[in-house]
Amino acid sequence: MTRAATDRAVRILERVFAPVIQPLRFRLWDGTTVRVGGPGESDFEIVFRSPDVFRRILRQPTPLRFGEAFIDGGIDIEGDIFSAMQAATEVEELHLSLGTRLALLPDLLRT
C-alpha cells in the first residue's frame, strides 16, 4: 500500500466522521492514527486490518458493517468497548448526502 492510499483513507475518515460529536480514533493497516469527531481523546480505537475492509465498511458506514467486520476479524476495537458502543449509536444516525458519497468515491476506489 502506498502513502498516497493512506492519505486518501485519512481524508475519507475526516470527511465521513466530521459531523460526529464524540471523539473517534482510527488506526489504519499501516499504523497511521486518525483522530476525528469532537474535541478530546477517544477512549477506544478502531483498527482497520486491511484496505479491503476499509473500503467495504466506508462504502456504507453503518454499525452493522462495523459489527460484521469485527466478528470476521477485519477490524478490532481496542480500549473501552462501552464507549465504542455509544459511538456506534451516533454513527448509526450519520447520513451522508449523495453529493458527499459521490465526492468520496474516487478516493475510496483508489484506497
Neighbouring CB atoms inside 10 A of 72's CB total 11
Query: How confident is residue 109, by pLDDT bands cut at 50, 70 and 90?
Result: low
Gap between the Cα atoms of 15 and 37, Å rounded: 10
Residue 1 in this model has a pLDDT that exceeds 60: no
Higher pLDDT, 5 or 100: 5
Q: Would 77 be classed as within a structural domain?
A: yes
Q: What is the CATH number of the domain that holds 48?
A: 3.30.1050
Number of domains composing the chain: 1
pLDDT at 102: 65
Share of the chain above pLDDT 90, in %: 45
Closest to 85 (Cα-Cα) out of 24, 26, 39: 24
pLDDT at 57: 87
Q: Would 71 be classed as within a structural domain?
A: yes
Contact (CB, 8 A) for 45 and 51: no
- List pLDDT tens digits, range 46-100: 999 999 999 988 887 777 888 899 999 999 999 999 998 888 877 777 767 667 7
Q: Which of 23-32, 79-88, 97-106 has the lowest mean pLDDT?
A: 97-106
Residue 24 in this model has a pLDDT that exceeds 80: yes
Residues spanned by the domain of 37: 3-106
Q: Would 111 be classed as within a structural domain?
A: no
Query: What is the DSSP track for the chain?
Result: --HHHHHHHHHHHHHHTTT-SS-EEEE-TTS-EEEESSSS--SEEEEE--HHHHHHHHHS--HHHHHHHHHHTSEEEEE-HHHHHHHHHHHHT----HHHHHHHHHHHHT-
Q: Would 19 be classed as within a structural domain?
A: yes
